[in-house]
Every structure is written in structure tokens, then in C-alpha cells.
């Protein structure tokens, strides 16, 4: 059954028509449930692609990634004026730099909130993050005049946990859903802006379809995001099949449910449970283990590191990560893109040659 996914614009308009508040949220990890407990709907901003970057580039060095360049331009163009607030997690130095530029130089703009994420996956990190979430709660209370109770917070948490569970089921059944590479990732990425209950309804409808498994050369995608999304069609045209991913916008946000009955701790436990991620300082050895396990489970024969140009957290890990994967028998290809540019013809040729090599 074909799945109709509403556009970001439609969803935002719909929320506004119902008198709802929208938070524009930058990558990567943040507490969706906390925002929803305040009846604020998160809509993520990953760039977006194909924006006139001249407004942003006036404030940023030319070697800052296109996600940050585009976001700043987008904000300066007034394209986020619909939002009641902007939330910027401290994902990397470039996003922290964006926060400083916005605070000092861009006014008027929606109120700005930031969120610090702990490194690694230790108990101290859970305690630290729970405290950060309490402080965000205080800020949102001041902005909205609301004070959600623990019961309201827990209800919002359970709603997001259900969506996360359905996201994991989509991954588990991806080859029998009858969706091509592009349609599958369109569905996954609707989690970036759909309210959790709407995403859950879409996911449940997609999960009802079961067809014979697709075929093609099995490939894993890693990196930040599949933009331009034409890359997914390109992979399909050269008979590649994406069977797993380690993308920041998708697979790196397969959160486990938290265990605690205390809402802030439970949100922190869940966020910290995400797979290894260079922006959260997981050691390369953990990433190697995670990627080789995922390749073994999914049958992926190689990894396509599809990176945003100038993304420091990704690029720092890459040489050692690729070397270690090669030692484990997992070949890889690295392609860097600027999310504003159309996919160069040469990219298709390189992906085709890589898949050809994996087949021999
Ligand atoms: S692409 Fe990389 S450098 Fe840019 S915002 Fe994302 S994590 Fe930071």
C-alpha cells in the first residue's frame, strides 16, 4: 500500500492552525518528550539543503559545514520565524559556534535554548544529562508559563518510546516492506518533523505490508544524513541495496526506552542509550564493533561513508575507523558532499565501481 507522508510545511501549518507551538531543533540528540510535555512540537532543521548561503557565510568561516552555513542563512532569511523557540544541542564545535553567532549577532529571532550532551555512556553522564534536562524544563516553563507534572512527562515519554520502538521495527523489517531505498528513508526521516503519534500511525501502516525480500548488493550507509536524497536512487540504479545505516539522522537515533520511573532520569537514560556516535565521543573501537556487528547481522558487504564536507567529528574518526574495518574484512568508500549541490555524476560512477568491487 503506498504511504502518503505529509510535507514538513504542511505539518508546521497544521500545528500552527491548531494554536500549537513549534520548536526548531538542530541536530542531533534532544529530548522530544520534554518538548511535547509542554505541548511544543519539535521540527528538526538539518540545513536545510539548497538555501542561499550568502547570508550565513558573512558570519562563518568558509570551512564550516553546509548544515551550519545553511541553518544560519535560513534563520537570517526569517524562515524559522514560525518557531516559538530554537533548540541547539551542543553536538559539535560548529553548532556551538552557531549558537554564539545567533546570541550575539542575530536579532530579533525566536528565543534560543542550548543543551549539553555528556560524552560516552557512563552513569555520571546520565546524572549530568538529567540535570541538563531539568534546566531546560525550567527555561521552557519560563517561556510558556506551564509546569508539566511527572505524570504528564511520563505520558509524553511513553508516546516517544512507542515511536522509537516502531522505528526499530521498520529497521528490522526493512527488506520486506516493499519500499525502495528512497521511500524507506523518506518514511524514517518523517520522524524529524511529525508528531510522535502521527509517525507511529504511518509506521504501523507501513509495517502491515510484507513482500518478498528485495535483492541487490547489500550496503551500509554511514555519515550524517542522506542529502541530496538522490543518492538513494543512485544506489538503487547501480543495483545497490541499503540494508543498514549508521546515519546521524536515522540509525544513530535508535534509542532504547529508559528504565527509571523518574522522568528526567528516564529521558537521559534513553538518549544515552543511542548507538556509538562520534559527536558523543564514543571511542573508535566501539564504533568498529558496532559497525562490524551490524554488517554481520544485515549482510552488508561494505560501508559507504557519505559525509557532509567539513564535518569535523566525522572526519576525525574516518582514517582510523576505515583502517580498522578493513582489517575486519569490511571495505568502505568515502564520499563528501555539500548539501547545497546536486549530486555530481562522478558520485554515481564511484558508487557503481564500489558495488562492483564488493561483488567480486
Ligand atoms: S555536519 Fe558535522 S560539523 Fe556540521 S553540524 Fe553536523 S555534526 Fe556538526
In percent, the amount of the chain with pLDDT more than 90 equals 86
Extents of the domains making up the chain:
8-139
When pLDDT is averaged across residues 231-251 and rounded to a whole number, the result is 95
| Residue-wise pLDDT tens digits, 154-211 | 999 999 999 999 999 999 999 999 999 999 999 999 999 999 999 999 999 999 999 9
Q: Which residue from 252, 308, 315, 337 has its CB within 8 A of the most atoms of ligand 1, so it is best to mutate? A: 308
What are the residues whose beta carbons fall under 8 Å from the beta carbon of 263, sequence distance 6 or more? 150, 153, 154, 157
Please check the confidence at residue 38 and state whether its pLDDT lies above 70. yes
Strands in 302-308's sheet, in edge-to-edge order, are 240-247, 217-223, 302-308, 331-337
| Residue-wise pLDDT tens digits, 272-294 | 999 999 999 999 999 999 999 99
Whole-angstrom distance, CA of residue 330 vs CA of residue 150: 46
The CA distances from residue 224 to 35, 161, 184, in Å, are 23, 23, 17
Distance from residue 64's CA to the centre of ligand 1 (Å): 8
| More confidently predicted of 338 and 322 | 322
For ligand 1, atom 2, the nearest C-alpha belongs to 311
Q: Is 313 in the pocket of ligand 1 (CB under 6 A)?
A: yes
| Residue-wise pLDDT tens digits, 113-163 | 999 999 988 999 999 999 999 999 999 999 999 999 999 999 999 999 999
Q: Is 308 in the pocket of ligand 1 (CB under 6 A)?
A: yes
Q: What is the pLDDT of residue 161?
A: 98
The CA distances from residue 312 to 6, 44, 207, 254, 357, in Å, are 33, 21, 37, 23, 29
Q: Which residue from 65, 309, 315, 337 has its CB within 8 A of the most atoms of ligand 1, so it is best to mutate? A: 65
Whole-angstrom distance, CA of residue 323 vs CA of residue 343: 27
DSSP 197-243: HHHHHHHHHHHT---SPP-SEEEEEEES---STHHHHHHHHTTEEEE
Distance from residue 95's CA to the centre of ligand 1 (Å): 7
Please check the confidence at residue 2 and state whether its pLDDT lies above 80. no
Mean confidence (pLDDT) of the chain: 95
DSSP 125-152: HHHHHHHHHHHHHHHHHHHHS----HHH
Q: pLDDT-derived band of residue 106, with 50, 70 and 90 as boundaries?
A: confident
CATH of span 8-139: 3.40.50.11890
Q: What is the pLDDT of residue 1?
A: 59
For ligand 1, atom 8, the nearest C-alpha belongs to 92
| More confidently predicted of 333 and 107 | 333
Q: Is 190 in the pocket of ligand 1 (CB under 6 A)?
A: no
Please check the confidence at residue 108 and state whether its pLDDT lies above 80. no
Q: Which residue from 25, 26, 27 has its CB within 8 A of the most atoms of ligand 1, so it is best to mutate? A: 27
Q: What is the pLDDT of residue 51?
A: 83
Q: What is the pLDDT of residue 312?
A: 96
| More confidently predicted of 329 and 2 | 329
The CA distances from residue 75 to 37, 199, 275, in Å, are 26, 26, 30
In percent, the amount of the chain with pLDDT more than 70 equals 99
Q: Is 68 in the pocket of ligand 1 (CB under 6 A)?
A: yes
Distance from residue 182's CA to the centre of ligand 1 (Å): 23
Atom of ligand 1 nearest to the CA of 66: 4
| More confidently predicted of 3 and 141 | 141
SS3 (DSSP) at 164: helix
Distance from residue 112's CA to the centre of ligand 1 (Å): 19
Residue 61: Cβ-neighbour burial (10 angstroms; 0-12, 13-18, 19+): exposed
Mean pLDDT lowest among 50-54, 102-106, 121-125: 50-54
Q: Is 324 in the pocket of ligand 1 (CB under 6 A)?
A: no
Amino acid at each position: 500500500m503506498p504511504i502518503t507522508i505529509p510535507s514538513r510545511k504542511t505539518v508546521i501549518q497544521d500545528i500552527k492552525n491548531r494554536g500549537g507551538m513549534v520548536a526548531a531543533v538542530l541536530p542531533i540528540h534532544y529530548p522530544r518528550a520534554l518538548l511535547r510535555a509542554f505541548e511544543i512540537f519539535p521540527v528538526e532543521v538539518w540545513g536545510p539543503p539548497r538555501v542561499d548561503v550568502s547570508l550565513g557565510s558573512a558570519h562563518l568561516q568558509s570551512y564550516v559545514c553546509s548544515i551550519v552555513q545553511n541553518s544560519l542563512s535560513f534563520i537570517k532569511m526569517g524562515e524559522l520565524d514560525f518557531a516559538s523557540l530554537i533548540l541547539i544541542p551542543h553536538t559539535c564545535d560548529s553548532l556551538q559556534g552557531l549558537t554564539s553567532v545567533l546570541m550575539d549577532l542575530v536579532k530579533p529571532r525566536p528565543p534560543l535554548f542550548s543543551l549539553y550532551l555528556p560524552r560516552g555512556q557512563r552513569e555520571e553522564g546520565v546524572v549530568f544529562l538529567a540535570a541538563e534536562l531539568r534546566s531546560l524544563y525550567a527555561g521552557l516553563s519560563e517561556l510558556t508559563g506551564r509546569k508539566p507534572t511527572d505524570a504528564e512527562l511520563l505520558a509524553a515519554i511513553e508516546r516517544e518510546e512507542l515511536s522509537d520502538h516502531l522505528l526499530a521495527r521498520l529497521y528490522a523489517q526493512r527488506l520486506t516492506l516493499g519500499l525502495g531505498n528512497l521511500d524507506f528513508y523518506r518514511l524514517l526521516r518523517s520522524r524529524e518533523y511529525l508528531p510522535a503519534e502521527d509517525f507511529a500511525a504511518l509506521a504501523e501502516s507501513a509495517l502491515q505490508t510484507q513482500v518478498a525480500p528485495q535483492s541487490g548488493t547489500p550496503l551500509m550507509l554511514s555519515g550524517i544524513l542522506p542529502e541530496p536524497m538522490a543518492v538513494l536512487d543512485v544506489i538503487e540504479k547501480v543495483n545497490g541495496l541499503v540494508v543498514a545505516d549508521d546515519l546521524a539522522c536515522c540509525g544513530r537515533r535508535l534509542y532504547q526506552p529508559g528504565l527509571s520511573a523518574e522522568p528526567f532520569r528516564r529521558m537521559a537514560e534513553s538518549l544515552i542509550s543511542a548507538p556509538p556516535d562520534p559527536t558523543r565521543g564514543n571511542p573508535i573501537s566501539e564504533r568498529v564493533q558496532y559497525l562490524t556487528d551490524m554488517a554481520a547481522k544485515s549482510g552488508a558487504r561494505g560501508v559507504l561513508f557519505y559525509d557532509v564536507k567539513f564535518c569535523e567529528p566525522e572526519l576525525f574518526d574516518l582514517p582510523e575507523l576505515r583502517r580498522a574495518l578493513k582489517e575486519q574484512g569490511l571495505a568502505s568508500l568515502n564520499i563528501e558532499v555539500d548539501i547545497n549541490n546536486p549530486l555530481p555524476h562522478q558520485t554515481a560512477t564511484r558508487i557503481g565501481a564500489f558495488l562492483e568491487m564488493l561483488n567480486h
